[in-house]
């Protein structure tokens, strides 16, 4: 199993799935969410609109994940997850962020996917501290990979050099 970090455009990942740091409505937004929707084309928004709402305006509650096709992307699927907004650390943010990574990995395994790429969930507009988020991401993914899995490749995409460095340190750590 390969775990690696890339600094670049997650929309160009030519694997089985990319993870979208979506909002709960799943209909597009800013940051990586907007980039993924633009690259995938309007079919992605249409597919997201077909996902059943669990309450008005919410298709994917924070910490959960949903899967759609990849449409115009190189990846075959998009796994959407809504990360937590950082509120200082006392609002269960770490557990919710770990739940995002875990839910995405579970969906990937349920669909027998072999490769998945993650953005830095909640580290942009949601202001989750990059070093803390990187540690949570890598530890959660490693825990998911500890059991039987179809996944052979996990790539963490960094949007800037600071995030890349944080992710590389987390991948290099073994605890």
Q: Are 69 and 43 in contact (CB under 8 A)?
A: yes
Beta strands in the chain (DSSP E): 2-7, 17-22, 65-69, 77-82, 115-118, 153-158
33 is annotated as an active-site residue: yes
Listed as own residue / partner, the contacts of 23-26 with beta carbons closer than 8 Å and 24 or more positions apart are: 23/82, 24/57, 24/58, 24/59, 24/60, 24/61, 24/62, 24/82, 25/57, 25/58, 25/59, 26/51, 26/59, 26/60, 26/66, 26/80, 26/82
Q: Are 136 and 101 in contact (CB under 8 A)?
A: yes
Considering the candidates 9, 16, 33, 95, report the single residue annotated as catalytic: 33
Residue 14 has which token pair?
A: 């030519």
Q: Which residues are catalytic?
A: 33
């Amino acid at each position: 199993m390969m775990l690696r970090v890339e600094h670049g455009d997650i929309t160009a990942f030519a694997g089985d799935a990319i993870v979208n740091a979506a909002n709960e409505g799943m209909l597009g937004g800013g940051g990586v969410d907007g980039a993924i929707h633009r690259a995938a084309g309007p079919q992605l928004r249409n597919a997201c609109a077909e996902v059943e709402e669990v309450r008005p305006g919410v298709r994917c509650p924070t910490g959960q994940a949903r899967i759609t096709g990849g449409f115009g992307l190189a990846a075959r699927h998009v796994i959407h997850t809504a990360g937590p907004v950082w509120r200082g650390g006392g609002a269960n943010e770490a557990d919710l962020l770990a739940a995002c990574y875990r839910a995405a990995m579970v969906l990937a395994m349920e669909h027998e996917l072999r490769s998945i790429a993650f953005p830095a969930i909640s580290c942009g507009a949601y202001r989750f501290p990059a070093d803390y988020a990187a540690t949570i991401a890598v530890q959660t993914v490693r825990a998911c990979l500890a059991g039987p899995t179809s996944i052979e490749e996990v790539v963490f995409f960094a949007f800037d050099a600071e995030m890349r460095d944080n992710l590389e340190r987390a991948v290099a750590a073994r605890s």
